[in-house]
Amino acid sequence: MSFWEPLFLSIKLAILTTCILFILGILISWGLASLKSGCKPFWEVIINLPLMLPPTVLGFYLLIIFSPENTVGKFLQYYFQSRLVFTFEGLLFASVLFNIPFMVNPLLAGLTNLPSTLKEASSTLGKSGFVTLIRVLLPAIRPSLASGCIMTFAHTMGEFGVVMMIGGNIPGETRVASIAIYNEVEAMNYTNAHYYSAIMLTFILLVLLVLQFANRNTSRGKKMRHD
């Protein structure tokens, strides 16, 4: 196994997770921001459940649900010749579920804080709700979109519990960087563990610094326009 393979696999997983959640997150946050019924708090709790649950709990139930011995796993195997347990596709599915709040919460906050006059003006001009979302609302919450993407990417890079449970430890398939670090520590190969950890730490710090500077520049730009 190449030293860099787990790192590249982590980056691939983080990019795909972020791209999928970018689309899903927009739709979910838009739906929640528009929802006026009393069940809105229930859906917000469901969205934020991964923040409270230990990752191994989510990973365990995904492992049980998609196991080839259970109904859902058998269905996928029989009709689609596909399985989610101990595959990269399973890692991706689990990562999308686990990272939903990291994408949805910034977008929901951005949409909720927008003045209602934006949507009303667009409706007055005859624009549909979807067109209003794409052409009016999303451009107005660019900092929230950037925050959601960067937080999702960084968090996916550091996942361990959920990917270990659903993906296992298969070289080139499911052994991401966090699993590789665990393996090196178990084997008492602390040198490689240091290398992996230092690379991950530096990479995620850089990602978060980019987010911090982007937010600061955005805030400064808004202040200048206001002045």
User: In this structure, what DSSP letter does residue 18 have?
Assistant: H
CA distance between the termini of the chain: 57
Residue 226 pLDDT: 52
What 3-state class would DSSP assign to 56? Answer: helix
**pTM for the structure as a whole:** 0.90
Q: Which amino acid is at 31?
A: G
Task: List pLDDT tens digits, range 112-159.
Answer: 998 888 877 887 777 788 888 888 899 999 889 988 999 999 999 999
Q: Do the beta carbons of residue 100 and residue 49 sit within 8 Å?
A: no
Could you say which DSSP state residue 141 is in? Answer: T
**Ramachandran angles phi, psi of 54, nearest 5°:** -60, 135
pLDDT at 129: 81
Q: How many CA atoms lie within 13 A of 151 on its CB side?
A: 19
The DSSP 8-state label assigned to residue 11 in this structure reads H
Stretch 83-111: mean pLDDT: 94
What percent of the chain is predicted at pLDDT more than 90?
A: 61
The yes-or-no verdict on residue 185 having pLDDT over 90 is: yes
CB 89 within 8 Å of CB 140: no
The residue ranking higher by pLDDT, 46 or 128, is 46
Eight-state DSSP code of residue 135 = I
pLDDT at 217: 65
Backbone dihedral region of 192: left (phi > 0), alpha (psi from -120 to 50 degrees) or beta? alpha
All structural domains of the chain:
5-55+89-219 (1.10.3720.10)
